[in-house]
Structure 1
């Protein structure tokens, strides 16, 4: 066994596209949440969509690690 060798996981293009898609979705929801909050509007629906998006990220990362 070689010590000190760092093995990098090569991210596939499909992985990177999915990761970008999920991050963009979360970023957009956070921007929407911020806007609605500043306008004094109800954020319940946006928070529920954000929760779903975060769960999607968790499942995506979990599936990659397993």
Structure 2
């Protein structure tokens, strides 16, 4: 089980409908992340999603996707 955290550039609001995700070690899973640009936000940027193991906080991984 992994705890998810999302971060976006200043001016963007991000929300994780579910902050937990299940995946086998070395496996993949899908996570839904909602992002919305606020007034004055850059129209492009990177969203970073980080997953940290609930049983071993030293185990984590992250990835990015482009916001536009």
Q: TM-score range by the shorter chain?
A: under 0.3
Q: TM-score, normalised by structure 1?
A: 0.24
Q: Which has the higher strand share?
A: 2
Higher RCO structure (Cα 8 Å, ≥6 apart): 2
Q: TM-score, normalised by structure 2?
A: 0.23
